[in-house]
Amino acid sequence: MLEQLKELHTQALDELEKIDDPRDLELWRVQYLGKKSRLTQTLRSLAALPLEERRSVGVRANEIKRALQSGLTEKEKILAEARLVLLEREKLDVTLPGRLAPTGRFHVITQALEEICDVFRGMGFQIVEGPDVEWDYYNFEALNIPQYHPARDMFATLWIDSEMDKKARLLRTHTSPMQIRVMEKVRPPIMVVVPGRCYRYEATDATHESMFYQVEGLAVDENITLADLKGTLFEFCRRLFGEQRKVRFRCDYFPFVEPGVEVAIDCLACSRGGCRLCGYTGWIEILGAGMVHPDVLKKIDIDPEVHCGFAFGLGVERVPMLRYGIEDIRLFYSNELRFLKQF
Task: Enumerate the domain spans of the chain.
Answer: 2-89, 109-340
Give the pLDDT of residue 48.
66
Query: Is the pLDDT at 69 greater than 80, yes or no?
Result: yes
Query: Is the pLDDT at 14 greater than 90, yes or no?
Result: no
Query: Is the pLDDT at 44 greater than 70, yes or no?
Result: no
Give the pLDDT of residue 301.
92
Find out whether the peptide bond into 195 is cis, omega within 30 degrees of 0: no
Residue 53: other Cβ atoms inside 10 A: 12
* Topology annotation, domain 109-340: BirA Bifunctional Protein; domain 2 (3.30.930)
Query: Is the pLDDT at 274 greater than 90, yes or no?
Result: no
End-to-end, the C-alpha distance of the chain in Å comes to 84
Distance CA 211, CA 213 (A): 7
Query: Is the pLDDT at 247 greater than 70, yes or no?
Result: yes
Sign of CA dihedral 38, 43, 44, 45: positive
Query: Is the pLDDT at 43 greater than 80, yes or no?
Result: no
